[in-house]
Amino acid sequence: MKKLILILAVIITACNPQTEKETASTPEGAGFFLPSPGEKYVVSTDAVTDVWMNYIDAHNKRDLDAIMKMESDSISIDGPDGSVIVGKAMHRELLDAWFKAEDPMWEVYWAMPYKAVKNGAEWIIAGHQVKTTVDGKEKTELHMIDGQIEDGKIKRFFVYSKDIPEPPKEEEKQSASMTAAGE
């Protein structure tokens, strides 16, 4: 009887093969990227996050040598204004000028590392508050940065920017409440 049950179990298992999803050694992933048909993404590791956080820390310390060591030689940066920075030399020159002109400081308020399933590219998307000071006037913007990390170095990133509106002045608040009250 035990042999019969064992034989039936083998037959049933053989006739019911595992699905591709159950046998795949790589995760299925989610999302898409039009230039790479069929590509999907999964969460990566915090090792990617650590690379980005160290990079931002070097920016806040104004350590241009450390920043350059963390970048690939062919770094490419797409700015929020449509500008494109290519190569370490160009980036160093522009960063040095920006540090002197506006004294930017970054505060990362969220980050998510992710990885392409098919090609293995590792990325991070992160939100930053960036404070700049020009002629004694401080301004804060929100920057969303989508960056590619390759071999532990920053290969490229895209910066998207949004101004944070100033809070309304007291007289504007009073005027708004009077308008709402129908006065």
Residue, of 16 and 169, whose pLDDT is higher: 169
What pLDDT does residue 6 have? Answer: 42
Q: The whole model's pTM is what? A: 0.77
- Is residue 40 within 8 A of residue 118, CB to CB? The reply is yes
153 contacts: CB under 8 Å, gap ≥ 6? 51, 70, 71, 72
Where along the chain do its domains lie? 41-163
Mean pLDDT across 40-49: 96
Mean pLDDT across 3-19: 47
What pLDDT does residue 183 have? Answer: 58
Q: What is the pLDDT of residues 115-157, one digit of tens each?
A: 999 999 999 999 999 999 999 999 999 999 999 999 999 999 9
Provide the 3-class DSSP secondary structure of residue 87: coil
The answer on pLDDT for 12 being more than 80 is no
**Distance (Å, whole) CA 110 – CA 99:** 23
Identity of residue 132: T
What tokens were used for 174? Answer: 């009073």
Topology of the domain comprising 41-163: Nuclear Transport Factor 2; Chain: A, (3.10.450)
Which of the 8 DSSP states describes residue 20?
H
For 67, counting Cβ atoms within 10 Å of its Cβ (0-12 exposed, 13-18 middle, 19+ buried), the class is buried
Nearest residue to 109 via CA among 95, 139, 130, 123? 130
